[in-house]
Amino acid sequence: MNTLIQKYLGTILAAATIAMVSGGVTHLVSFYALAERVVVLETEGGESKKREEDIQSTQQKMMLVLAEIPRQQEEFKGMILTPEVVGRGTVGDFGEGTAFVDLNEYGAAKMYLKAEKVRITCSVNGIVHSADFTVRGTFRNRQDPQHLVMFSEGAAEELGVAGIVDRVSVGPVK
């Protein structure tokens, strides 16, 4: 009977040893597979973090561009709604060396009465002259709405004009 019990105990111990070894090997293989997956996830996590930073950077750039759009719309609207007008200009005997212009309150350029500066373009002896001038004041000429602008002596000297000038263009400063 001793031998039989010893055989049973030997079989049980052998089965237990085989189970422990195979279980240990299985757990070690699973652990190394898990460890390898963790390394892969950490690598992907780093790449994901970089992608997230790239997305945030792109979003910030887009926000700056979107913030710029209303200003550009106002600028384009200003250009569209304030076209250049063409008419006559007269050189005045005021202002001495200071270059500025006065606008006709009843002329076609009255849309520029509240502007700080206007661009004046005219042709003298076939050469086109263009300059930006400060709007200093106004004058009234109801009978001639094509009379747009009166130049100070400094403005007339800068443009090279004298007397009455036909085909003067008044427009927004660009």
Could you list the pLDDT tens digit for every one of the 174 residues in the chain?
678 888 877 888 888 888 888 888 888 778 777 777 777 777 776 777 778 888 888 888 888 888 888 887 777 666 665 678 888 999 988 877 788 998 888 888 888 888 888 999 988 888 888 899 989 988 888 888 888 999 998 888 888 888 888 889 888 887
- Return the pLDDT at 78: 62
Q: Is 75 in the same domain as 108? A: no
- Return the pLDDT at 141: 87
Q: Is 73 in the same domain as 139? A: no
Ordered alpha helix ranges (H), the chain? 2-81, 153-159
What's the rounded Cα separation, in Å, for the pair 73 and 94? 39
What's the rounded Cα separation, in Å, for the pair 73 and 84? 19
- Return the pLDDT at 151: 92
State which H helix or E strand residue 125 sits in.
none
Residues β-bridged to residue 70: none
Domain with 56 in it? 1-81
Q: Is 63 in the same domain as 110? A: no
Q: Is 120 in the same domain as 91? A: yes
Q: What is the CATH number of the domain that holds 92?
A: 2.40.40.10
Could you tell me the CA-to-CA distances from 47 to 37, 41, 44, 161, 162 in Å, in that order? Answer: 15, 10, 5, 68, 72
Q: Residues 133, 105: contact at Cβ < 8 Å?
A: no
Q: Residues 171, 85: contact at Cβ < 8 Å?
A: yes
Q: Is 77 in the same domain as 90? A: no
- Return the pLDDT at 63: 87
14: phi then psi, degrees, rounded to nearest 5: -65, -45
Q: Is 36 in the same domain as 64? A: yes
Q: Residue 12 corresponds to which amino acid?
A: I
What's the rounded Cα separation, in Å, for the pair 65 and 128? 37
99: phi then psi, degrees, rounded to nearest 5: -95, 110
Q: Is 46 in the same domain as 119? A: no
- Return the pLDDT at 82: 61
